[in-house]
Amino acid sequence: MTEDFDVKLVESDVRYTPGPEYKADSWLGDYETAYQAFLADPDGFWDRIARELDWIRPWDAVKEWKYPYARWFVNAKLNITANCLDRHVKNHRRNKVALLWQGEEGAERIYTYQKLLSEVSRFANGLRKIGVKKGDRVCIYMPMVPEQIIAMLACARIGAIHSVVFAGFGVTALNLRIREAEAKVVITADISIRRGKAIPLITTVQESILNAPSVEHLIIYRRRKEPPVEIRADFEKDFYGLMEGMPSECKPEVMDAEDPLFMLYTSGSTGTPKGIVHTSAGYMVGTYYTTKFVFDLKENDIYWCTADPGWITGHSYIVYGPLAVGATVFVTEMTPDYPDPGIWWKLIEEQKINVFYTAPTAIRMFMKMGEEWPDRYDLHSLRIIGSVGEPLNPEAFVWYHHAIGKDRCPIVDTWWQTETGMHMITTMVGEPMRPGFAGKAVPGVIADVVDKEGNSVPPGTGGFLAIKAPWPAMFRTVYKNDERYRKYWETIDGVYAAGDLAVKGRDGYIMVLGRADDIIIVAGHNIGTAEVESALVSHSAVAEAAVIGKPDPVKGNSIKAFVILRVGNKPGDKLMQDLIYHVRMTLGPIAVPHEIEFVDKLPKTRSGKIMRRVLKAKELGMDPGDISTLEE
Ligand code: PRX
């Protein structure tokens, strides 16, 4: 991120303005008024929100900011699960549905707030019984079943730090994350179910913990009945076996505001993923506030976020935010195209979903399938629809607004990151929307587009997306790599550099263009080029590899790898398939290259760094830019 980024925007004036009732009925009211109220008294703003929640001990100060380190709700004591569960059970939501889960072939499970609290408590007691304590790391590698959410909340109940790993990762990726975190316990399921097929998870996990000495127990949620997977004595525990005989009450661990709540690995520009650490109070307040205000969630709404809890979107907007608000959350393990591409719209009709939150890659896939699929179903229950994960391009915006939102629902295109923990930029409900633009900073956040010196760029100009003041749900460090944390705040003087390129439009609307670094967003998943390269190089036939992202009309980007073979290996289809299989097994199916090209040489700087930028320009037939550092 050292070069200036020179883009001039030719702006369209297209605006979509939702009906006046949206603003009139919203929690926020008028955006500008709310934003100015925040600017006039930032601490007072967050103080008022935090007071809506339950605390064991209140804070001495809303924040303490010693650049680049923040403490929020200083010295407060709390437990996030007391807010996600007990607060509702104590008040009027005891019988309200918290989780409404649907599996394939009609399987349905319903948890009221009371039932969820009891199940979480029993599992938390089970974890305590096998010796899990506050501060211990627990790795959760599970499909999208209620047990995944129960496991997360149970960890939070007893102060154990969960590290959820998306179940689409392979052995090496999982092993690395378990070892990095020194997880004491791993929680998994025997299988996940996708498109009518059982996908085994257990073998991946068993292999991943072979050389992970920190792991004392493996807890398995056994879904397959005939025959059930075997539980090996002592070391392995059955998920429900662990809960058996456990009391359905579990005193929540008293957490300091700054005690870690969870860590979550995200791809970086090196081969090692970054363990993003979030703490208790600020994360709770930030996700509670944004869930309530950005989705404008009302008491009777049924809310559906299609993400997997294995990613930050699931942590913040399936689990912690919505449950802190007391929402009814619909969760499904079903894929968008099975048994047919109408399934999601059918679910919206059946469940009468009011607020729907998905990703551009899914929207573009549906766009390709045609409007006849959503048109078969009654989507009138929808009130607000959202998007996250990558830029929502204007064509996809227009389609989503019309085919799903029926020209009525506001779209909240939310820009944020694993690191930010909560929504940072969007167009708040009721405000005019501009296709291609995520919007403006959420009240509570100061966002801007800056040049490499940190100066605000004039309207119509491109630059780096930056956050100019701390916010409650900000990550506090990178696990065991605080230097990496500081880098986010030191790359551009005085601001948090998000790593994204953006353009500032008229009226302060921000258009996010994509990553400024070596991270490729494929179907909404962050993939580090270095991680794929090191997976390729770990194959015995590969000497060197370079990976780039290529624009893809549905996935956003696809992965192309350039590979130099070791002497004695012949390029060909068979080897290509071998390499693809190898990456699938090590990193997982989400990181598999879509294209591999065997080459004799890679463009490098004189100091030996691969110039992916040059490869990409050549591949796309574009100008490679400055190549003065390129070796002969
Ligand atoms: O490049 C931005 C893109 O996703 C990155 C963050 O990825 P991750 O940490 O996996 O979190 C994804 C879910 C929050 C960002 O740096 N991104 C996310 N949302 C948007 C986006 N790009 C454009 N528009 C968005 N709404």
Is the shortest distance between the CB of 266 and ligand 1 below 6 Å? yes
Is the shortest distance between the CB of 388 and ligand 1 below 6 Å? yes
CA–centroid distance, residue 221 to ligand 1 (Å): 31
Residue 8: pLDDT over 80: no
CA–centroid distance, residue 515 to ligand 1 (Å): 9
Q: How confident is the model at residue 506 (pLDDT cuts 50, 70, 90)?
A: confident
Whole-angstrom Cα distance, residue 143 to residue 129? Answer: 25
Count helices and strands (H / E) in the chain.
21, 32
CB 438 within 8 A of CB 447: no
Whole-angstrom Cα distance, residue 479 to residue 8? Answer: 38
Please tell me the residue having the least CA distance from ligand 1 atom 3. 390
Q: pLDDT value at position 2?
A: 43
Does the bond joining 339 to the residue before it have cis omega, within 30 degrees of 0? yes
Please tell me the residue having the least CA distance from ligand 1 atom 14. 417
Q: How confident is the model at residue 632 (pLDDT cuts 50, 70, 90)?
A: low
User: Residue 441's closest CA among 467, 408, 472, 476?
Assistant: 467
Whole-angstrom Cα distance, residue 446 to residue 425? Answer: 9
Please tell me the residue having the least CA distance from ligand 1 atom 22. 390
Q: Which of 254-263, 286-295, 397-406, 585-594 has the lowest mean pLDDT?
A: 585-594
Please tell me the residue having the least CA distance from ligand 1 atom 15. 417
Residue 90: pLDDT over 90: yes
Residue 628 one-letter amino acid: S
User: Residue 83's closest CA among 58, 56, 63?
Assistant: 56
Q: pLDDT value at position 341?
A: 96
Is the shortest distance between the CB of 268 and ligand 1 below 6 Å? no
**H helices present in 518-572, as ranges:** 529-537
355-358 vs 425-426, strand pairing mode: unpaired
In this prediction, residues 483-505 reach a mean pLDDT of 96
Give pLDDT tens digits for 309-334.
999 999 999 999 999 999 999 999 99
Does the bond joining 227 to the residue before it have cis omega, within 30 degrees of 0? yes
In the structure encoding, which two tokens stand for residue 584, read together? 């699938």
Residue 52: pLDDT over 60: yes
Q: pLDDT value at position 272?
A: 86
In this prediction, residues 12-37 reach a mean pLDDT of 96
Local structure of 451: helix, strand or coil: coil
In the sheet that 355-358 helps form, which strands lie side by side, from edge to edge? Answer: 108-112, 97-102, 328-332, 302-305, 355-358, 384-388, 411-414
Spatial neighbors of 355 by CB under 8 A, at least 6 apart, are: 295, 296, 297, 301, 302, 303, 304, 382, 383, 384, 385, 386
Secondary structure of 235-301 in HEC code, one letter for each residue = CEEEHHHHHCCCCCCCCCCCEECCCEEEEEEECCCCCCCEEEEEEHHHHHHHHHHHHHHHCCCCCCC
In this prediction, residues 31-56 reach a mean pLDDT of 98
Among 1, 312, 388, 478, which residue has the most ligand 1 atoms within 8 Å of its CB, making it the best to mutate? 388
Beta bridge pairs of residue 316? none
Task: Check residue 574 and report its DSSP letter.
Answer: H
Q: How many residues does the chain have?
A: 632
CA–centroid distance, residue 371 to ligand 1 (Å): 26
Local structure of 548: helix, strand or coil: strand
Is the shortest distance between the CB of 417 and ligand 1 below 6 Å? yes
Q: Which of 319-323, 381-385, 609-613, 623-627 has the lowest mean pLDDT?
A: 623-627
User: Residue 191's closest CA among 157, 154, 143?
Assistant: 143
Whole-angstrom Cα distance, residue 269 to residue 396? Answer: 29
Is the shortest distance between the CB of 612 and ligand 1 below 6 Å? no
* CA atoms within a 13 Å half-sphere pointing along the CA-CB vector of 114: 7
Q: How confident is the model at residue 3 (pLDDT cuts 50, 70, 90)?
A: low
Please identify, by atom number, the ligand 1 atom nearest to the C-alpha of residue 419. 9
Query: 2-80+279-515 and 111-256: same fold?
Result: yes
Is the shortest distance between the CB of 437 and ligand 1 below 6 Å? no
CB 462 within 8 A of CB 8: yes
Please identify, by atom number, the ligand 1 atom nearest to the C-alpha of residue 465. 16
Give pLDDT tens digits for 136-176.
999 999 999 999 999 999 999 999 999 999 999 999 999 99
CA–centroid distance, residue 517 to ligand 1 (Å): 13
CB 34 within 8 A of CB 450: no
Q: pLDDT value at position 336?
A: 94
CA–centroid distance, residue 392 to ligand 1 (Å): 11
CA–centroid distance, residue 313 to ligand 1 (Å): 10
In the structure encoding, which two tokens stand for residue 361, read together? 């890659």
CB 539 within 8 A of CB 579: yes
Q: pLDDT value at position 7?
A: 72
User: Residue 117's closest CA among 219, 240, 249?
Assistant: 249
Is the shortest distance between the CB of 526 and ligand 1 below 6 Å? yes
The mean of the pLDDT values for the chain is: 95
In this prediction, residues 59-80 reach a mean pLDDT of 98
| 2-80+279-515 under CATH 2.60.40.4070, yes or no | no
Q: How confident is the model at residue 4 (pLDDT cuts 50, 70, 90)?
A: low
Whole-angstrom Cα distance, residue 173 to residue 530? Answer: 13
CATH fold group of domain 111-256? Rossmann fold (3.40.50)
Q: Which of 17-26, 66-75, 517-526 has the lowest mean pLDDT?
A: 517-526
Break the chain into its structural domains and give their ranges.
2-80+279-515, 111-256, 519-620
Is the shortest distance between the CB of 418 and ligand 1 below 6 Å? yes
Q: pLDDT value at position 5?
A: 66
* CA atoms within a 13 Å half-sphere pointing along the CA-CB vector of 236: 16
Which class for 601: exposed (0-12), middle (13-18), buried (19 or more C-beta within 10 A)? exposed
Please tell me the residue having the least CA distance from ligand 1 atom 6. 417
CATH architecture assignment, domain 519-620: 2-Layer Sandwich (3.30)
Share of the chain above pLDDT 90, in %: 91
Residue 430 one-letter amino acid: G
Whole-angstrom Cα distance, residue 214 to residue 597? Answer: 40
Please tell me the residue having the least CA distance from ligand 1 atom 13. 389
Helix (H) or strand (E) holding 462: strand 461-467
Please tell me the residue having the least CA distance from ligand 1 atom 21. 390
- pTM of the full predicted structure? 0.95
Q: pLDDT value at position 631?
A: 77
Is the shortest distance between the CB of 308 and ligand 1 below 6 Å? no
Is the shortest distance between the CB of 290 and ligand 1 below 6 Å? no
Does the bond joining 68 to the residue before it have cis omega, within 30 degrees of 0? yes
Q: pLDDT value at position 473?
A: 98
Q: How confident is the model at residue 269 (pLDDT cuts 50, 70, 90)?
A: confident
In this prediction, residues 389-393 reach a mean pLDDT of 95
Long-range CB contacts (within 8 A, 24+) of 445-448: 445/469, 445/471, 447/510, 448/495, 448/504
Is the shortest distance between the CB of 448 and ligand 1 below 6 Å? no
Please tell me the residue having the least CA distance from ligand 1 atom 7. 417
Q: pLDDT value at position 12?
A: 84
Is the shortest distance between the CB of 81 and ligand 1 below 6 Å? no
Q: How confident is the model at residue 423 (pLDDT cuts 50, 70, 90)?
A: very high
